[in-house]
Structure 1
Amino acid sequence: MSNSDRPALGQKVALGALYDAKLDIFHPGSILTGVPPVDAVTERPAEKTNTSVTIGGTYRERHNALDIQCDTAASILAGLIKPQGSGVYLRNVSSDKLILCGAIHHHVSTVQEKLNFMALELHNHLDLDLLQNRDSTHVVLGINWGLHTVLEVKQHISQDDNYKDSKDAFEADLTKLRNCFDAESKGNPSTASCRMNPEYDYTLYSDAFEEEGLVLQTADEALQFIRLIPDHISQSSNGKGWPLSYALLPLTMLHHFIQLPHELQVTSSPISPEYLAKFTNLFDNYEIAGAKLQAYYADLSRHSLHTSESHIEELRRSIDQLEKAKKLAQAEFKQGLVSVRRGQTASTTLWDLFNQYNNGDFSPRKLSAIAGQESAKLDFINHVVSNGAIYIGHNGLSFEDAIDSHDDSGCYAFLFNRNAMKSQDVWNDNCALLMGLLTRARQTAPVYVVDCDATSKSLDSDAPRICRFQNGEESISDLLDHQKFMAEKSLAQYQTNALDTSLNNKPVKRRFVKVPCPCGKCDPTRICEWSCSFCLAPIEYGFTDEFIYCECGRAPYRSYQFKCNGDRHGTDYVSYSTKTLGGLLGNLDQSDYINILILGETGVGKSTFINAFINYLSYETLDLAKASDQLESVIPCSFSIQVMNRNDPNQPIEEKVIKVGGREDEADGSRGASATQQTNVYSVNIGSATYRLIDTPGIGDTRGIQYDKKNMADILSTLSSYENLHGILILLKSNNARLTITFRFCVKELLAHLHRSAVENIVFGFTNTRISNYTPGDTFQPLMSLLKEHSDMGLTLSNSTTYCFDSESFRYLAAYKNACPLPNEEDFRRSWEHSRLESVRLVDYFKTRKPHSVVSTLSLNGARQLIMELTKPMAEISKLIRENITAMEDKKQQLLDTRLTGDNLRKRLQLDKIQFQSHKLDKPRTVCKNTTCCDFKDSGKGDGETVTIYKSHCHPVCYLTDVKQDVVAHPNLIRCAAFSGSDHCKRCTHHWQEHMHVLYELEQVTVQVTDTEIQRQLQANAGDVTLRQTGIAEASKLIGDYKSEHMQIQEAAARFGLFLKAWALTPINDATEDYINMLIQDEESKIEAGRQLGHNVDINKKRLQGLKEDKQAHVELVNTLTKHMRAPRNAKEQLLDEKGVEQLVARLYGLPHFGQNLKAVKNTITSAHKSTYRERPYRIGGRAGAGFGARRANPRQAPARIVTVQKRPPPRVNPKDGHRKHETRSSGIFGGMFSGLSLR
């Protein structure tokens, strides 16, 4: 340490005293002996008074105020120096931010004393032996005398006060008080007012007080002390006052003035001021941290009912730990400081020590981290409680009891926790809404604030929300979100007494209500999209019954009132006139409805795809889907996952079945049966658009080819309820590497039933494409080869018609929702992202397509069905005609024989004809009326009657006596043994309602029929020649008639074949025979295996026989059609359209000899459906986010879901004429096929 001044800090020593800079202490005694010579000590008057103001209460600020240098400051902080007198001011630091600190420093200098080592006589008065004390480093060379006084002023402010304004006023008052001090010290008391803020606290520190400061009540008391300072000085140390500072001379410089007996060994290493300043900051930070913890503890103590006891206890531990850490840091700093000063360790030791306490586990920052954790929450609670809210949390009140205690008036609950307060925007908006509820006039419903950190009530995603409860049930889950949502909606409200909830169905022909607002203040040209004010679902107008539909039910359109979201509308609902509203609703268009037909092979995963498709449109990311309340699904499906513990090779593999959804009319596909049992329409509302996803039974049904036929009929019947198809999605697996029989059959079967005009709407979707890097994979080449076989269709695989999906991410989501999370989530996240993009691209593409007219495909398939049903009878009738022609030729030849005369001629004139005769059965017989189980024959009696031959004797001898004969589907027939308690026959597999009892059996017999014309002539006694000529003429005429009808039938067959070739994408599924052969082979294998095992294989045998009959029928059909598929040879063979097919069939029915046989053919397509109306409306989340309903926020909002089988509504009766109005627009032959179905 160099020659410098050291503050006295209340310590009194004499000139010549020794000082140790390493410990920063004065040693007792002095090197001066006795009274020093007069010229050895000089005194110089230094009378000076100075008054100053300082601001701040930290160590650094107080050290600066008293001009304490770094070395001395370090000694004070380390506890080497205990300041006294005015130095006590340095010990009472204040670091609370809510306490303003300032001080008035009054400094009076009187005398400067100095020891003159140049005086020779002084050498005789020096005890140099004391210099042998190696701990000394300096000698006191001089003393500055006087009196230092500090008046500390403090003001406590609150958080509500404006800090800057308070600080400015505080500093202004200190300046004014300093001026008063100056005036008093000069003996001129200020006439100006020194009145201070009564909230100020005063403490007076002075060298005149040895230990502690003096607490004052007013500033005037301090002024009185200032007036007495001259008296205090005069009475101390012979009027010199008190030591203010000491001038120190290093012992190493003493030899310049006196002769020393020996060389002094003085060691003292200087320390960088930068290092020492760091410790001042460290201990300031400890003080600041302690102040924060104490203030926080006081705050918690005042609000103990709003704070957990565990948190308060944790705070107590933090206070104790901080205090211990501070003492430990001070002790280690003291030890390190002395060690470095003595040169025992390097100064970098102090740097390491600083880093340890400043950044380690005992740092002020870490130990005070708990401070203020609950402050914002407590402030919020205090604020809302003071405004009338009821707190539920650490006070022990029960949330459930509070909610249940209110009647219909209900209550509100603000749910929050500490983390919820971090979402600034959401928090501020909810708080504003909460204060609005608390301050709202006529607010009767109580408002609770529920601390979810202290209750069992959970808070999803740590997002605050206000709930509305009525009768103990949550009616609104998020009031803020609800109000924002409502503000964006144009709402329509029905009269409550007009609501009809008896029907769950909606008519197919309906439109979203988009009309202007009827309010006179609103813009009449602005079209609004209206939602129900109760269920918030978009409302739709049903054209067939003039009702408006929503999720509440339905109500007549005339019962509605409207309130749009326009700024000028106001709060009232406004009505339209019935005539005006009816006209607007009648003109609504259907551009918002997109119909998508989904076709595919059994097992391709249509049901899973539809469930996944809805989720992909609902949620933009997998994470958002995981955060939702429930799994979106409309079709039951299931799959299994295996759990393997590879750490335990002996543990068996665990299999878990994940099931999604469930309905009575659907299987889940888990047992091999097709999951989709009938065609269903899922009406998915996304924003303002409705996507009808038409889910179909798979082609290649696991139950056999007959079910394929029924399934296709079911599909066509469902389509008859719609006018257009915007898209046809054919789903395929991505791993069909070869043109398998099943693959060829399924693709061609789909194409065979589509009209050529549908080619522009057909796209191909590939499932499970993650394994093929989201490409068509192995299926691409086989499908391309198959399409090239029918290149005339114009159907190709291109980017716009190819879509690659992957349902694995949906399966992952389903497993996650079933508490079975799967590994490799990142892969599933990428799968979700890709499949969503493909879903959006698919929907966008269908929007750009010209809709395919459903009537075209229906008419084509109606004609196809009719042609297929007529083909076999036409072939049989052609054979019958040829046989009759041959018979007539033989008769004619016999009549030409001139040797036949008389009675012989009369015998030859009898014609042979096949007739059917009946004989009565002893017991009733159960027979099937399905056309596949019946043959239709001419009775052969010349009366034009057609008789039915029942091929299936389902129960040849039935003993039921209460079944009425010849009545189809008699209720008691269900008890017949043919059904064995099932709905289907064990023999023919048809439904029991297609069966009846008969008591007769038809037998085929050959009889002779007398020609009526010959009989007439015989009765007229005509001669042999006349009889012969007449017989020949009649035979020739019949031969000509037969040939003419035969030619017409052949031409019809040809024209039918040309019709299918021209209008169907593929007229015949030429893969059917191979497919049936495969099924026959499988069935034969089952029979053989069953025999070897001794099982009953009767059912398999019946199934095998049915497959063989299907094959024979198909071969006959293909032979008939392909035989006539040639170019038209003349105008008579001009290409038919659907209407032409109908007209040609009518002409065939009118053939005089064989038309009645054809007319007996019945169409079976109408038996496929129980009802046309089978839409399953599904509204994706009441508030969709960006894009196709993708949800970005508010995962608590559960989506509105309706999954109900839609049934036909009752016919509407016009009150004016009493007639029923039907929707059916078909007529004629196809009208009979689609009887009861509406072609929209």
Structure 2
Amino acid sequence: MNKYARKIFGKGKKGRKSKDGPSAEGGDGYDDSGFVIAGLPKEGSHDEEDGEPMETSSESTVQGLNSIFKWLSLKDTDECRKQNQKTASKKALPKYNILLLGGSGAGKSTTINSFANYEKYPTIKDAVKNKFVELISSSFKLAHPETDEEFCIESGHDANESDILGQSRTKDPMAYRFTFADKIIRLIDTPGMGDARGLKADKENFEKILEYLKNYETLHGIIIMMKSNETLNSTAFNYCITELFSRLHRSASENIFFCFTFSRNTFYRAGDGFYLLNQVLNEEFPDAKLELKSKVNCFFIDNEAYRYLVAKKAGYPFETDQMAEFAVAWNKSADQTRQMFSRIIEKSPHNLLHTFKLNMAQNFIAELAEPIVRLQKNIFSNMNTIERQKQSIERDSSTIDELKKTMHMTIFDMKMVVLEAPNTVCASNKCREIVLVNGVRKVDLKKCCIACPVEDIPTRKKGELLLKYCEIFNKNGNISNNCRECGCSWKVHLHVKHEYQPVQKKVIDPVVEKELKSLLDSKKSSDCISRKIIEALENTVRELNEEMEHIQRAAACFGYLLNKHSNSSCNQFIEPHLDMLIEEEKMKIKFIKGYSDETLMMLVSLKDKHGEHVKKIEKVIADGYSMELEDIDKLAHELCQLKHSGQQFQTLVNQFLKDNEKKVAHVERVGLDMSGNQ
């Protein structure tokens, strides 16, 4: 195993480095407090054996553990190119992949149609005289100029386009390949955000886009399209921007462009939409450091000239002098479109593997967040139980029979049970009750929907908007704010995918227990046996304490990695789960006579400890040690190897890998071939 695959955490004496010290080849990074991250390489470090850069491939695994990135086996399939090799240039042409994103009705599909015509015909007159290019079907309505009656205009039929009012016209992502003499431009059309079916449909569409992109290795451009005169900071608009920037790797910011459609209304300059977008980016995503600049990353078009071509073909009676107006729109929009694509082609491509890894890491860490908190709570409770027993032995003269009972004392492990389907539960005070399970008091939440069919709702997070699509709020399309089962607001409901059951286990290790039994059989004094039992209990407490520290450090590393690679701050990813457990402990204190507040105080302190660990990691990294998303594999492996909590983490990892095994479909169409090789 090379040094890059060694343990993330090691043990070292306070204030000193390892015996050999950190070197250019990698090593253990310490700060003055003794905080250590073992096996992290210095920037630019190399493997000792072959002198090559250390492997950071998504295919790598850590002994016995499949990589959480194992499904990211990426290659550019480009099936169209394989099927049309005769039309391709003998010399491989550079390919530029450009993704179009935006709200439903922003004009993504129309822009692709328009681009094809701008490139094929110099003027709108040429497009009218000849057969203009129709890549994607069109459907819209105009009022008849004389009768004001509805004039329906339809052009072509496309199984990938929907005619249902309010829904995104484009059903699934689709690439359109434009071949020129010196390059290939691939425009990827996508379903629009703001679908009339609500956020559930938007989320499904966004997942489709991310899955489709796994067919490609790079993106040169990500074009966010919105109406130039957009004034409403709507839920759909916010979702589109927030989802995009939270999912994209920070390095993709350089490849983001903004295209404002319907710009005739704003004289092909910045309008209300520009200033609304600028405000949202500055307030919500300052880390993205995106400055909007005309002709740099912002462009203004109006594709009404293409709609004119479609309507004219359908027999709509335009007035003779109207073509001049559409000619202006054609010329300005063609010029802006070419400028935008020229800027995009100049950019170094964004490596999509970085974004895919970030998304996989985000999903994986989200799954670990709650168990990380609950396991620490359980460890703390067990440590207190053992400590009290140890003090009792030290304080009192125990008989042999009493010591025998201590030998067999038990604590509680937290067994995690993965549900076949998520449940929707209510976390309001009136829907909680304290129940006794295997001798342990726990707070039980009312199950309002068992095996909820709504997918992709973040677990253990109250008030997720997608919860409104659960049948307890949504009956035949009529959405209620209150649950039909318990009457409480949707804002206090949440999805759960796991349940936790206390399971008894012996405190003293079987090997030590055998030694103690031998001492008892030899009729040693109770003092001698007491010392041996105390030693065993102290050893277990020490192991549990080290595990809790290890879990805290792993959580800090997860937070650091997300914050480093994402456009939004992610350090507080465990906070919602801490808050949930804090509420549960307060309830126990209120209703259980004599219940201690020790666990409550520990949970409150965890928030501060998490921040302290993140700062320590940042200091170690500042000293030149590297930590990347691939290290999540090693962190997960270390958690799975923990003596007392490892099995719970292994269950989570296995379930995550199972849930994320997906096959990606790839569909691509020939958009336009102007290479001269037809």
Q: After TM superposition, give the deviation of residue 1157 of structure 1 in Å.
A: 1.9
Q: Post-superposition shift, 1:846?
A: 1.8
2:334 is aligned with 1:874: no
**Structure 2 residue aligned with 1:667:** 162
TM normalised by structure 2 equals 0.63
Structure 1 pair 711/891, CA: closer, same or farther in 2 (3 Å)? Answer: farther
Quick one: distance in 1 between partners of 2:132 and 2:351? 38
Residue 368 of structure 2 is aligned to residue 832 of structure 1? no
> What is the CA-CA distance between 1:801 and the residue it aligns to?
0.9
Alpha-carbon distance between aligned partners in 2 of 1:846 and 1:695, rounded to the nearest angstrom = 16
Q: Which residue of 1 aligns with 2:634?
A: 1143
Q: Secondary structure of 1:1179's match? A: strand
Q: What's 2:601 paired with?
A: none
Instruction: Give the deviation of 1:599 after TM superposition.
Output: 2.0
Contact 1:673 1:702 in 2 (8 A): yes
Pairs within 5 Å for 1:705-744 = 705=199, 707-737=201-231, 739-744=233-238
* Corresponding position of 1:521: none
Residues 93 and 183 in structure 2, CA contact (< 8 A), matched pair in contact too: no
Q: CA deviation at 1:802?
A: 0.9
Name the CA distance, whole Å, in 1 between partners of 2:416 and 2:218. Answer: 51
Q: Distance in 2 between matches of 1:904 and 1:773?
A: 89
- From 1131, 1147, 1150, the counterpart of 2:620: 1131
Residue 150 of structure 2 aligns to a residue whose secondary structure is strand
CA distance in 2, matches of 1:827, 1:1121: 62
The aligned runs of 1:538-577 (5 Å cut-off) are: 540=81, 542=82, 549-550=85-86
1:765 CA drift (Å): 0.6
* Residue 1171 (structure 1) aligned with residue 664 (structure 2): yes
What is the aligned counterpart of 2:646 among 1155, 1161, 1166? 1155
Work out whether residues 607 and 695 of structure 1, in 8 Å CA contact, stay in contact via their aligned partners in 2: yes
Q: 1:1030 to 1:781 in 2, by over 3 A?
A: same
Aligned residue for 2:617, secondary structure, equals coil
* TM-fit CA distance, 1:865: 2.6
Cα distance, 1:660–1:1059 mapped onto 2, change above 3 Å: farther
In structure 1, how many angstroms separate the alpha carbons of the residues matched to 2:502 and 2:657? 30
Q: For the residues of structure 1 that align with 2:452 and 2:369, how far apart are their CA atoms?
A: 30
Measure the CA separation in 1 of the matches of 2:612 and 2:144.
59
Q: Is the 8 A contact 1:745 1:1069 kept in 2?
A: no
Distance 1:1182 1:699, change over 3 A: same
Q: Which of 904, 913, 916 lines up with 2:402 in the alignment?
A: 904
Aligned to 2:548: 1046
Aligned pair partner of 1:819 in 305, 315, 325: 315
Secondary structure of residue in 2 paired with 1:594: strand
User: Residues 1124-1160 of structure 1: CA distance to partner in whole angstroms, max 9, x if unpaired?
Assistant: 7647354389552122233223222322222232233
Alignment of 1:637-786 (within 5 A): 637-643=138-144, 645=146, 653-668=148-163, 670-699=164-193, 702-705=196-199, 707-737=201-231, 739-786=233-280
Post-superposition shift, 1:839? Answer: 1.6
SS at match of 1:667: coil
Q: Spell out, residue by residue over 1:95-142, the C-alpha distance to the aligned partner (whole angstroms, 9 max, x if none).
A: xxxxxxxxxxxxxxxxxxxxxxxxxxxxxxxxxxxxxxxxxxxxxxxx
Q: Aligned partner of 2:620: which letter?
A: A
Deviations 1:70-96 (A, max 9, x none): xxxxxxxxxxxxxxxxxxxxxxxxxxx
Distance in 2 of aligned mates of 1:1069 and 1:732: 31
Cα distance change, pair 701–888 in 1 and its aligned pair in 2 (3 A): farther
Looking at structure 2, the residues matched to 717 and 917 of structure 1 have their Cα atoms a distance apart, in angstroms, of 30
1:757 maps to amino acid: S
Q: In structure 2, how many angstroms separate the alpha carbons of the residues matched to 1:610 and 1:1125? A: 46
Q: Quote the residue 1:1014 is aligned against.
A: 513
Work out whether residues 193 and 236 of structure 2, in 8 Å CA contact, stay in contact via their aligned partners in 1.
no
User: Who is 2:561 aligned against?
Assistant: 1059
1:627 matched to 2:129: yes
Q: Is the Cα–Cα contact under 8 Å of residues 673 and 703 in structure 1 kept in the other structure?
A: yes
Structure 1 counterpart of 2:372, one-letter code: M
**CA contact 1:1058–1:1124 (8 Å) conserved in 2:** no
The TM-score with structure 1 as length reference comes to 0.36
Whether the 8 Å CA contact 1:749–1:1069 is kept in 2: the answer is no
Provide the C-alpha distance between the structure 1 equivalents of 2:571 and 2:150, rounded to a whole number of angstroms.
Answer: 41
Does the 8 Å contact 1:683/1:692 carry over to 2?
yes
Q: Which has the higher contact order (CA 8 A, sep 6+)?
A: 2
Cα root mean square deviation, aligned: 4.4
Which amino acid counterpart does residue 143 of structure 2 have in structure 1?
A: Q
Aligned residues: 498
- Give the distance between the partners of 1:605 and 1:1067, measured in 2 at CA: 32
Which letter maps to 2:643?
P
Shift in alpha-carbon separation, 1:1144–1:1170, aligned structure 2, 3 A: closer
Deviation at 1:1034, TM superposition (A): 2.5
Instruction: Give the superposition deviation at 1:804.
Output: 0.8
**Structure 1 pair 868/709, CA: closer, same or farther in 2 (3 Å)?**
farther
Name the CA distance, whole Å, in 1 between partners of 2:609 and 2:423.
Answer: 19
Q: Does 1:862 align with 2:360?
A: yes
Cα 1:710–1:891 shift into 2, 3 Å = farther
Note the residue ranges of structure 1 that are not aligned, 5 or more in a row. Answer: 1-506, 512-538, 555-563, 565-584, 647-652, 919-926, 935-939, 942-949, 957-986, 988-1000, 1074-1117, 1185-1199, 1201-1240
Shift of 1:900: 3.7
Tell me the distance in 1 between the aligned counterparts of 2:662 and 2:116.
Answer: 26
Alpha-carbon distance change, 803 to 888 in structure 1, aligned in 2, over 3 angstroms: same
Letter in 2 for 1:814: V
- Identify if the C-alpha distance between structure 1 residues 865 and 1167 changes in structure 2 by more than 3 Å, giving closer, same or farther: closer
* CA deviation profile, 1:942-987 (whole Å, cap 9, x unmatched): xxxxxxxx9975499xxxxxxxxxxxxxxxxxxxxxxxxxxxxxx9
Query: Are the aligned partners of 2:621 and 2:627 in contact in 1 as well (CA < 8 Å)?
Result: no
Query: In structure 1, what is the Cα distance between the partners aligned to 2:286 and 2:354?
Result: 21
Residue type at the aligned position of 1:755: H
Shift of 1:632: 0.8
Q: What amino acid does structure 1 have at the position aligned with 2:189?
A: D
When residues 695 and 892 of structure 1 are mapped into structure 2, their CA distance, relative to the original with a 3 A threshold, is farther
Structure 1 residue identity aligned to 2:409: Q
Cα shift at 1:706: 5.1
Task: Report sequence identity in percent.
Answer: 28
In structure 1, C-alpha distance between the alignment counterparts of 2:564 and 2:239, rounded to whole Å? 21
Pairwise CA distance, 1:777: 0.8
Structure-1 residue corresponding to 2:390: 892
Tell me what 2:341 maps to.
843
Match of 1:50 in 2: none
SS of residue matched to 1:676: coil
Alignment of 1:490-529 (within 5 A): 508-509=76-77
Q: 1:802 aligns with which of 285, 298, 306?
A: 298
User: What is the alpha-carbon distance in structure 2 between the residues aligned to residue 663 and residue 1119 of structure 1?
Assistant: 56
| Residues 536-558 of structure 1: per-residue CA shift (max 9 Å, x gap) | xxx95x4xxxx86358xx9xxxx
- Letter paired with 1:1157: Q
2:291 counterpart letter in structure 1 = T
